[in-house]
């Protein structure tokens, strides 16, 4: 079994092109580049569907707010308002409990 290691974008692209050049021989490619069969399979699939952009590592990266569609902007605003509403509700509940405790003394 291949050890887990991180490959750069160029290495991923090279591995995918090698696999395609070998008539999609995933096992040989995984042994050649010391990566798992599943990993090379998923990279080739992404490459075939999205091209070279599919091999980019986009984890943890959001697109800027300026690139949001109208629907995404509305969803973000709704989430923000719901969070504010929850915060205010918790604050009100806290103040009610505080008043109740002060009256009980």
Write out pLDDT tens, residues 31-61. 888 889 998 899 899 888 888 888 887 777 6
Do 70 and 94 share a structural domain?
yes
The C-alpha atoms of residue 18 and residue 104 are separated, in whole angstroms, by 77
> What pTM was computed for the model?
0.54
Do 48 and 27 share a structural domain?
yes
Counting the structural domains of the chain, the total is 2
Task: Tell me the residue range of the domain where 77 lies.
Answer: 65-103
Measured over all CA atoms, what is the biggest interatomic distance in the chain, rounded to whole angstroms?
82
Do 79 and 51 share a structural domain?
no
Tokens of 99: 């008043």
88 falls within a domain: yes
Total Cβ atoms within 10 A of residue 53: 9
The C-alpha atoms of residue 52 and residue 4 are separated, in whole angstroms, by 22
Do 74 and 47 share a structural domain?
no
Tokens of 36: 């798992």
Do 39 and 72 share a structural domain?
no
Do 15 and 49 share a structural domain?
yes
With a cut of 70, which residues of the chain have pLDDT below it? 1-5, 61, 105
């Amino acid at each position: 079994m291949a050890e887990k290691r991180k490959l750069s974008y160029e290495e991923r692209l090279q591995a995918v092109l090698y696999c395609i050049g070998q008539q999609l021989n995933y096992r040989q490619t995984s042994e050649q580049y010391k990566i798992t069969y599943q990993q090379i399979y998923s990279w080739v699939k992404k490459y075939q569907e999205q091209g070279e952009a599919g091999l980019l590592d986009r984890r943890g990266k959001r697109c800027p707010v300026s690139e949001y569609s109208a629907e995404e902007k509305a969803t973000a605003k709704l989430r923000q308002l719901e969070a504010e509403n929850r915060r205010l509700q918790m604050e009100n509940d806290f103040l009610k409990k505080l008043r109740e405790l002060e009256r009980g003394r």
